[in-house]
Structure 1
Amino acid sequence: MKLNIAICDDDKAHVGIIKDYINKTNISYDTQIFEAYSGEEMLELIKNTHIDIIFLDIEMKELNGIETGKKIRETNEDTIIIFLTGYKDYALEAFQIESYQYIIKPITYEKFNILMQKILTRLKEINAYKNINNSFIFKAKDGIVRLKYKWIYYFEGQGKRVYVSSEVGNYDFIGTLKSVEISLNKNMFLRCHRGFIINTERLLNVKDNQIMLFDVEQLIPIGRKYKKDVLNVLEKKLFECNR
């Protein structure tokens, strides 16, 4: 698993300390560290990059850490936020944002290492939960079917039936595309047309008003009101590939 960690602090020396602590810590993941020196820079970073852990300083100019944390929470429910501060005054606000920890600076490596081991344990719990729940379960005519998200190409709605195209076969069941959309992982699936939901991990290209998916011959139409969302997802994936 790849682990993206961000440090956001307007004090470059403190960013360096936390970065050194991370590099000294035994982390059994492929880890990439990102640095941001303002709240605004942090918010720009998360637009195109999923961050698993953020060490976020509170006392920053213009957009402070509390306000930055609130904006991060609007779009990133699972990101673990650790607030860093020289004061105890912000504890209640940090708690309201559902931060994982609130640390008074300076922090020693010994304390940091203990904290990181707790965070890594928490991440394993989150990933174990996701592995269980990263499946779409439905009742087909031959019985109950469970498809892992990564197997699914797209869903197509036709009247009162939904058709599922996947790498392990094609299925259909009674239902609506709206109810399917509500149940899916929003980070992985995208409504691109009133009649289609695609797996964004399969997104290959967009040409005119059609989508090409990996390993899928059929071209998927794009509805006018969904085109901006589709292009944003494609741009994000191209950015991640070129990093």
Structure 2
Amino acid sequence: MDKLRIAVCDDEIVQQKLIQALLQKYLTENNILAEVKFYTSGQEYLKEKKSEILETDIFLLDIFMPEMNGIDIGKELKNLGVQGKIIFITGGNDYITEAFEIKAFSYIQKPVEYEKFVKVMNSVIAGFEKHRYMDVVVDREKQRIYLDDVEYVETLGRRLVIYMKDGEVETYLSVKNFMDEYGEDDFIQISRYVAVSKSRIQRIVGRSLYLINGRELSISEKYLATTKKLHIAYIHTKKVATV
């Protein structure tokens, strides 16, 4: 797993030290590398660069803070388009409804016991392992792309076009490098220049591959047998998993 980025917002120094101790123990026991930053208010954190905020994996937010509470911070983060997981820490039940309205990952009540903390963190980590991502440079800025959102990738000249369900981005990377680093388990290379997400393939007819969205892609003769074999294996695996 890549290094995690964790942001903690809490106005109480004692609580910050407790969260720091819990995180240090958990990360050490599970051999996880992480960069952890602490903030005493939402205003302080939201002054960070947008790219820094968007690259954060886990947000641990105290709900009861002056001026801007944890719920307000969570709403701002969602408006920015963060994909990281929001975990609220609070001493009451006042904002449970609001927490789940903004699709917070979890809600931990104080006093935060290590056993409770471990359960939540284990769930978060399991989710990251399932929903992997890649950090690419787009227009000179880092952008995080979650592989579950990628339909297929295609090399055009020196650029790699990443096609997603809600748009596309371009970066400098070859299909081979993409497959070596990110795509071996979840993607099928159907030509020298194109690799397709296994989960997005609807059917294969001859040398034509059809995505779930209806788009047709052409399979190179060299890759045809392997593509069909991997597609059939994926379908069988999926059927077994849903039994």
Same fold (TM over 0.5): yes
Corresponding residue for 1:166?
158
For 1:80, give the aligned amino acid. K
2:149–2:165 CA contact under 8 A, matched in 1: no
Q: Is 1:87 the equivalent of 2:84?
A: no
Corresponding residue for 1:38?
41
RMSD: 3.0
Give % identity: 29
Q: Output one character per residue of 1:61-103: Cα deviation in whole Å (capped at 9) or x when no partner.
A: 1111111110001123411000111110100000111000111
After superposition, the Cα gap between the structure-2 partners of 1:76 and 1:27, relative to the gap in structure 1 and judged at 3 Å, is farther
Q: CA deviation at 1:180?
A: 8.7
Corresponding residue for 2:19?
18
Q: Output one character per residue of 1:94-143: Cα deviation in whole Å (capped at 9) or x when no partner.
A: 011100011111111121112111110011122179335446x3xxxxxx
Q: CA deviation at 1:43?
A: 1.2
Separation (CA, whole Å) in 1 of partners of 2:171 and 2:24: 35
Among 96, 112, 115, which residue is 1:110 paired with? 115
TM value normalised by structure 1: 0.57
TM value normalised by structure 2: 0.57
Q: Is 1:68 the equivalent of 2:73?
A: yes
After TM superposition, the structure 1 = structure 2 runs for residues 135-214 of structure 1, keeping only pairs within 5 Å, are 137=152, 146-147=153-154, 164-166=156-158, 183-184=167-168, 189=169, 198-199=170-171
Separation (CA, whole Å) in 2 of partners of 1:64 and 1:167: 43
Corresponding residue for 1:140?
none
Number of aligned residue pairs: give it. 157
SS in 2 for 1:42: helix
**Runs of 5+ consecutive residues of structure 2 not aligned to the other structure:** 134-144, 174-243
**Runs of 5+ consecutive residues of structure 1 not aligned to the other structure:** 138-145, 153-163, 172-178, 190-197, 202-243
SS in 2 for 1:45: coil
Q: Is 1:122 the equivalent of 2:127?
A: yes
Separation (CA, whole Å) in 2 of partners of 1:64 and 1:132: 32
Q: Output one character per residue of 1:40-71: Cα deviation in whole Å (capped at 9) or x when no partner.
A: 01212362412100100111111111111100
